[in-house]
Structure 1
Amino acid sequence: MSLLSQNMRYLRSRIGHSQQKVADALIITRGRYSKYEDAATEPPIEMLLKISKYFGVSIDTLVSVDLGKIPVTDK
């Protein structure tokens, strides 16, 4: 599993959204979104932009930092 797919799954679960809800927001099928989370396929750059905006995280962070290991502080 890639950092991107791990981070997508982590961020989605953190906000309590289903794969279907995220897929609907990104205007893709749930199956396509699931393939990104399972690291079966990598999203194109245009989709990475949408994903980063949806989760409020930079593309660089999505693909290079294990967000599950960073302490979270809710404000």
Structure 2
Amino acid sequence: MWKKARSFAKEIWELSLINGFKKDFSLRNQINSSSGSVPDYIAEGFEREGNKKFINFFSIAKGSAGETRSQLYRTFDRQ
């Protein structure tokens, strides 16, 4: 799962380098931050001891993925 999340964050980074995206610094930083949080939270949860903590961090990672998805919708809405 972490490998997919890492790939996801990389794809978002590559999208953020497109000319139109470069102009919206706030959204670009926000989407890179939220997409980067996904693999970060998965990794942190994995390093914690116990399934309960891992599940909690995985849930937070899922929330960050949802945040990134919302930001992508805003990006597409702005063309």
Q: Which has the higher contact order (CA 8 A, sep 6+)?
A: 1
Q: With structure 2 as the length reference, what TM-score do the two structures score?
A: 0.36
Q: Which has the larger radius of gyration?
A: 2
Give the structure with the larger helix fraction: 2
